[in-house]
Structure 1
Amino acid sequence: MKTEAKVVHLNKVASEQSHTSPVGRLPVALTQVRDKAAQQLKQALQALFDNADDTLFEMADRALSNPEQNTFFEAMRDLRLKRKSIERGFLQNVFEAFVALNQYEVGKPAALDGLSFDSLSLVQNDELEESVALDAMVAKVMSRDGLAVSHLTTRMNVLVSKKLDDRGNPLGPSALCGFFLEACSSLGVEIRVKLIILKLFEKYVLADLEQLYAEANQTLIAAGVLPELKSVPLRRNPGRSAPGRVEAAASMSAHAGGIGDEEVQEVFGALQELLAEVRGTVAPRRPAPAGAQPISSNDLMRLLSHMQQRAPAQASDDFDLREQLERLLGRASAKSGKARVVGEVDEDVINLVSMLFEFILDDRVLPDSLKALIARLQIPMLKVAVLDKTFFSRGSHPARRLLNEIASAALGWGEHDDSQRDSLYLKIEQVVQRLLNDFVDDPLIFSELLADFLAFTGNERRRSELLEQRTRDAEEGSARAELARRQVELALNERLLGKKLPEVVVRLLEEAWSKVLMLACLKHGVDSSEWRAALATMDDLIWSVAPHEDPEARLRLLELVPGLLKALREGLASAAFDPFSTGEFFSQLEVLHVQAFHRFKRMTHESEQAAEPALEANETAVANGAAEPALLALGAVEAADEPAMVEVVEEIVLGAPEQAAVPEPEASLAVDDATLAQVDSLRVGSWVEFQEDEEHRLRCKLAAVIKPTGKYIFVNRTGMKVLEKTRMGLAVEFRRNAIRLLDDALLFDRALESVIGNLRKLKGA
């Protein structure tokens, strides 16, 4: 019996490593890996550009028209001019990615280019072609060097503070393709030229990554980082005779993943060891008839294909794959007259896959309707596991990735969605049906379906990200408007509350000048000269209509009014205030100012004489068009009726253009309440499920936290806003258990981890 001597306990190793460096500083071993890789990548890029001219020239030579030929010639010229900057940008991206490994990253929304509706379709088509090409390039590298990449990622995780996966590995194919695309963003070339450049990148850079990964792993092994993880060299034997279909598929898959037979058996053997201790407990076995012979994997595949063609349209808890297979095997044995059973290795595979799918059917993260679809993949997944044992050990296995990608895409799918018309549901159904109909014993169908599904979800994701960004922008704009509105309310209340003023002035300030203040606050901020000027105009207006007994006030009023009226007109015009209402306001203001000057007539004769030079200056200004014509007749106008006065006794509250109903008062929780800590732990991008009532649940993603207003904005999987909550409101939801965080970890990995954990518990019991 095997022991656990070969099991590598990563947590123990990580804790014992002395290589881990402080945040922000790379360990020496990782610096060596980076520098060696950068040198190889630099040489590979130089080879790319050295050959790019010849390739583009050949394409130009084969062009069918002059415009097409010019396109390639322009691309050659552009590439020559920007070659150095692309090389420099690519390597800079690699270095920055390594630096970020020991830095904590603050989540921020994805930056999206502004797109018009007219160009959106074209841009999406170009991006779709680009995405499909990138996915194919990455898949090819992972199928060839997947194990080496996985080992490198595992070793890096021991040395750095940030949790890495293969996609986040700075030397992984996905990251390198992203770095190259970003470096080439300045190229003004068409999509067909960009695809040619990407093919050159694949040929001259990605094709040589096997050596890069081998050297990087060797460098870390030499530094003592997880030397137990050993990659077995590829073993190719072209002179080999053609094996059986099943054996050939298994051999091909193992070699494609860079995993040798020895390592496959080691990983699968560890799983078998766990199963051996509980065999008959987890999966009860019927006693085998005397003299029963195990069937071959080829015969098992034929039985599974028979079951696959007759699988029920809807998976249910009553469907037991092991029981169905035993019945089918019993009928086959009775028909042939020879007692046959499933071999021990194949039986272990069946038990493992059955337990994995039991986890899937019990998983609360997957919606029930999509869970039923995914459950129908049990037989195809069992068949591929029989063909290829790396299904259990290789995270990049196409079948395993397909299952994970389907589950990830289904995370935001709600039960209320119309499955008959929903594109995601129909796409998953198409994938499932294709596997049930077409998968016999060629595992390459999983790679084909994976590439197609990634292209579909990539297109869906780009659309949702665009709408999500627009939702964020709208909410941030609304928050800025809300803050500006509060500033304007504060300014108005400081100046008006408790004062008795002409009604027309109060209305002018509240209805009209508040818009000028809003505009100044939004465009320039409260520290700007524009904001201060708008406040000063408001102060001058209030002073100009207030009663004054000081004779010197007449001098100031004479000097103030022309500029004041000019500032009011310009401000209201900039805020696009209704011209008719503006005219009404100014007519009444002129009356107020005339009355103010009549009050000054009752002052002493000495005061009038002191004011005479200023009056003459004002009349000169009026003659030159600098003041309102109404002031020409100040001495001739009889005192009008006293203006209607109003005392401002309540705080002024400006209504928003689309102000929602006042929310109900929320419960107040203690500052140290545990549910508030749960809210604070939410991160942008987290998926949650709200229990709206006994029957309805809402799945949504936290798209933004608008700090000025304290709003948490949630969107559905299409990027459309479906809910907004305050911090306290979310805490109350947590307190009454009406909100649940959805685990977005990979489905297969969660299932496998659960199965292994359960087997270990049973073994220790």
Structure 2
Amino acid sequence: MHNDGKVVPINKAHATPSPLARLPVVLLQVRDKAAQQLQQGLQDLFDNADDTLFEMADKARSNVDHHIFFEAMRDLRLKRKNFERVFMERLFAAFASLGEAGRGELQLVPLVSYEAAPTTPRDALEKAVALEAMLERVRHRDGLALAQLTARLSAVLGSHLAECENPLGPALLCECFLQAGRSLGVEIRVKLIMLKLFEKYVLSDADQLYGEANQLLVATGVLPELKAAPSRRAGERAAREQRREEALPPTELPVDEGGQQAFAALQTLLKAVRGSVAPTLEASHQPQPIATRDLLRLLSHLQQYVPTPQVEDEFDLRNQLEQLLTRVSVKSGKSRVVEEADEDVINLIALVFEFILSDCTVPDTFKSLIARLQIPMLKVAVLDKGFFSHASHPARRLLNDIAAATMGASVGEDEPRDPLYLRVEQLVQRLLNEFVDDAAIFSQLLTEFRAFTADEQRRSALLEQHTREAEQGRVRTDEARQRVADALNRRLLGKVLPQVVVQFLQQAWSQVLLLASLKHGEQSVHWQAALRTMDDLIWSVGLHDDTEAGRRLLEQLPGLLKALRDGLNSAAFDPFSAREFFVQLQALHVQPAERIDGLIEVREPFVLGTLPGEPAIDLPSDDPDLLKVHSLRVGAWILRQQDANVALRCKLAAILAPANTYVFVNRAGLKVLEQSPGQLALAFKQGSLQVLDDSPLFERALAAVVDRLRQLNHAK
């Protein structure tokens, strides 16, 4: 946002606060309170700017626009911290200027108008119009509170303060925003989007900003007689909360007709682990089973005490139930135990979760959240044995969807700021708070979670496609560079030529050849013409002794010079450097060959672009780990151990010819890893790479538990 709009900058004489400037304590309190709110508003702005620009890229009708918005997203991510820092510095400088002499001479109001001068660029006009409209909306909406704040600041300072000098006025806040945005290298459309977001996430809360500042001043006795402006936000927030709490109508769970039979088959295997949930009482007490409804009541009680993910202690469900049963037994004087069928359900769920929490497909950061689902899932299974037999059961699908969505979340991510982590945490907490015995909540949460993940998947798919196309373009460029280098080396290696010509071919004409190769291909007339021009140039400065060659040079020289100029123009080569080369070339053509200075023999091969990477890892074609690499499919997730503390979760997005380079992306669709087949095979051998199983987690867990139970029964 360089030169952003007709905003008169803060007077340079007052840009740096004087060390002698002193503000009353109450103004420092107003400043710090406002800074806190504005900081939060800027964070919300940047958090949502990414989504907004992504949507713009998604709707872009051309590749150019698509690229512009993606580059803007990248620029904002890189410069976000600096942007916020500069904004706060400008805000503090505006407050500091209140305590300086000559404050009344400052002009800080944005001078914007629809009446733009004829010479005003269109971009500046658009920004001017947007700024003026923003300021007018704030003044119309929150003008009373702003006027009261300005009056109170004037009273504290003991001199008249104009609205344009109010550090929290919309004019100065816009000034701070525009100054902070000078470092952003984005075009006008993005700048206007940022201005709209600034209005939405910062200026739209101006009434709260002014209201709290006025309250601080009133509390210290500054113009308490001014009647406070009514808050428009309270009603809006209440309405938003009410809309947010409006839930979808619950859907009924499918009736299970074969669930009991399937569970009965599982019970024969569960005999091996019975007796693990019982009160710790002496054997003389006669066991008395508790009814299923009482078990559900106990589980609902435990559900309220499930530890948060931040608590490191493991929550052992069976141990917690034993303690509860012991307390109930002591109180009743009877040994209370769970019924056989209910104990089987408890053991089966416990074993399933043991598998889930040890499975590498679930990131450690999410395991603590999923572990909290154990009691809700157990209650569902107690209520409905079809939970174990029907893969379409909403509770099972919800668990599977959570596991599938979190599989790509790399360990070490900042989960409190991660939208997926926050959504899963919210979902788990709702189940713990709301689920008693109506399992319809699982259908509702499943619908909501799938809507969330569908949006994430759409975003990541678009970014992944962008990454794939960029990588394919890079490979094409690398191939074209190699073709150009090969063409130059075939013509130059071993030749003795003027140094200026060699440098011209390697530094300038190589770009002409590269452009022809990328745009038109090796079979095109453009590529062939560029090669002929290069051959003619090399011949023209060669050591020719016969006069016939001289006559031929005179005939061909005009065409050669024109072809050289046309080629350089097509590659947008620097005109000054081009003129300098043609002067030197003319000198080479008019003097005898034996008198030419600066002849060199080309001995080193020319390399265009980056040097080759790591040497290839040579493995036999039937190497087992190399075969595992070749069996990887696009879309497969892997876990790559970077070092002892860092593990990278990424998805295979593309296998790029001709070197079969494997390109991996993260959950957001951005490239995070590029490996050759040999490098991946070596990682398999070292145990630092494993392919993640993306089949439904609950089904895998149940199959593993059944396997384990069969082994226990056979051992007995």
Deviations 1:456-508 (A, max 9, x none): 11111222222222211111111111100110111111111111112222122
Deviations 1:389-446 (A, max 9, x none): 1111111111111111111111111221112211111111111111111111111111
Say if 1:289 and 1:339, in contact at 8 Å, map to a contact too.
no
Say if 1:390 and 1:397, in contact at 8 Å, map to a contact too.
yes
SS of residue in 1 equivalent to 2:417: coil
Query: Where does residue 649 of structure 2 map in the other structure?
Result: 699
Say if 2:362 and 2:403, in contact at 8 Å, map to a contact too.
yes
Distance 1:369 1:512 in 2: 53
Displacement of 1:253 after TM fit? 3.0
* Residues 1:736 and 1:291: Cα distance change in structure 2 (over 3 Å): closer
* Residues 1:118 and 1:496: Cα distance change in structure 2 (over 3 Å): closer
Letter in 1 for 2:468: R
Letter in 2 for 1:734: F
SS of residue in 1 equivalent to 2:644: coil
SS of residue in 2 equivalent to 1:669: coil
Aligned pairs for 1:29-178 (under 5 A) are 116=65
Distance 1:556 1:647 in 2: 25
Distance 2:583 2:551 in 1: 22
2:356 equivalent to 1:360:
yes
2:267 equivalent to 1:272:
yes
Letter in 2 for 1:718: A
Distance 1:113 1:428 in 2: 35
Match of 2:691 among 730, 733, 741: 741
Distance 2:591 2:328 in 1: 112
* Residues 1:272 and 1:465: Cα distance change in structure 2 (over 3 Å): same
2:509 equivalent to 1:559:
no
Distance 1:478 1:689 in 2: 26
Query: Where does residue 712 of structure 1 map in the other structure?
Result: 662
Say if 2:513 and 2:527, in contact at 8 Å, map to a contact too.
yes
Aligned pairs for 1:448-467 (under 5 A) are 448-467=444-463
Query: Where does residue 297 of structure 2 map in the other structure?
Result: 302
More off after superposition, 723-732 vs 476-485? 723-732
Displacement of 1:594 after TM fit? 2.5
How many aligned residue pairs are there?
Answer: 475
Gaps of 5+ in 2: 1-57, 71-250
Distance 2:482 2:439 in 1: 63
Distance 2:642 2:560 in 1: 56
Deviations 1:332-359 (A, max 9, x none): 2333455432112111111111111111
Match of 2:383 among 380, 387, 398: 387
Query: Where does residue 580 of structure 1 map in the other structure?
Result: 576
Aligned pairs for 1:251-650 (under 5 A) are 253-255=253-255, 259-260=256-257, 263-276=258-271, 278-280=272-274, 292-314=287-309, 318-595=314-591, 642-650=596-604
Query: Where does residue 241 of structure 1 map in the other structure?
Result: none
Query: Where does residue 755 of structure 1 map in the other structure?
Result: 705
Say if 2:468 and 2:654, in contact at 8 Å, map to a contact too.
yes
Distance 2:689 2:67 in 1: 40
* Residues 1:117 and 1:669: Cα distance change in structure 2 (over 3 Å): closer
* Residues 1:113 and 1:699: Cα distance change in structure 2 (over 3 Å): farther
Letter in 2 for 1:704: A
Displacement of 1:668 after TM fit? 3.3
Letter in 1 for 2:508: A
Say if 2:362 and 2:406, in contact at 8 Å, map to a contact too.
yes
What's the RMSD between the two structures over aligned residues?
A: 2.8
Say if 1:254 and 1:390, in contact at 8 Å, map to a contact too.
no
More off after superposition, 581-590 vs 569-578? 581-590
Distance 1:269 1:484 in 2: 67
Distance 1:394 1:331 in 2: 36
Distance 1:735 1:329 in 2: 50
Displacement of 1:646 after TM fit? 1.5
Displacement of 1:721 after TM fit? 1.6
Alignment TM-score, normalising by the size of structure 1: 0.58
Say if 2:663 and 2:671, in contact at 8 Å, map to a contact too.
yes
Query: Where does residue 630 of structure 2 map in the other structure?
Result: 680
Displacement of 1:364 after TM fit? 2.3
Letter in 2 for 1:646: I
* Residues 1:252 and 1:430: Cα distance change in structure 2 (over 3 Å): closer
Distance 1:755 1:114 in 2: 53
* Residues 1:750 and 1:304: Cα distance change in structure 2 (over 3 Å): same
Say if 2:277 and 2:319, in contact at 8 Å, map to a contact too.
no
Query: Where does residue 239 of structure 2 map in the other structure?
Result: none
* Residues 1:113 and 1:752: Cα distance change in structure 2 (over 3 Å): farther
Say if 1:679 and 1:730, in contact at 8 Å, map to a contact too.
yes
SS of residue in 2 equivalent to 1:253: coil
Alignment TM-score, normalising by the size of structure 2: 0.62
Deviations 1:178-234 (A, max 9, x none): xxxxxxxxxxxxxxxxxxxxxxxxxxxxxxxxxxxxxxxxxxxxxxxxxxxxxxxxx
Deviations 1:46-72 (A, max 9, x none): xxxxxxxxxxxxxxxxxxxxxxxxxxx
Query: Where does residue 714 of structure 2 map in the other structure?
Result: 764
Say if 2:498 and 2:598, in contact at 8 Å, map to a contact too.
yes
Say if 2:279 and 2:326, in contact at 8 Å, map to a contact too.
no
Letter in 2 for 1:253: L
Query: Where does residue 724 of structure 1 map in the other structure?
Result: 674
Letter in 2 for 1:352: L
Letter in 1 for 2:302: M
Say if 1:479 and 1:709, in contact at 8 Å, map to a contact too.
no
Say if 2:349 and 2:374, in contact at 8 Å, map to a contact too.
yes
Distance 1:507 1:641 in 2: 20
Gaps of 5+ in 1: 1-109, 122-250, 600-639
Deviations 1:91-114 (A, max 9, x none): xxxxxxxxxxxxxxxxxxx9x986
Distance 1:118 1:559 in 2: 47
Say if 1:291 and 1:339, in contact at 8 Å, map to a contact too.
yes
* Residues 1:291 and 1:281: Cα distance change in structure 2 (over 3 Å): closer
Say if 1:274 and 1:760, in contact at 8 Å, map to a contact too.
yes
Match of 2:618 among 668, 679, 691: 668
Distance 1:289 1:344 in 2: 20
Say if 1:689 and 1:742, in contact at 8 Å, map to a contact too.
yes
Letter in 2 for 1:264: G
Distance 1:685 1:401 in 2: 21
Deviations 1:75-122 (A, max 9, x none): xxxxxxxxxxxxxxxxxxxxxxxxxxxxxxxxxxx9x9867569989x
SS of residue in 2 equivalent to 1:475: helix
Distance 1:752 1:502 in 2: 77
Say if 1:288 and 1:341, in contact at 8 Å, map to a contact too.
no
Query: Where does residue 102 of structure 1 map in the other structure?
Result: none
More off after superposition, 281-290 vs 440-449? 281-290
Letter in 2 for 1:748: F
SS of residue in 1 equivalent to 2:416: coil
Distance 1:279 1:703 in 2: 44
Deviations 1:677-727 (A, max 9, x none): 122122222211222222222222222222124322222111222221222
The percentage of aligned residue pairs carrying the same residue is 55
Distance 1:590 1:738 in 2: 62
Displacement of 1:552 after TM fit? 3.2
**Relative contact order, CA 8 A, sep 6+: which one is greater?**
1
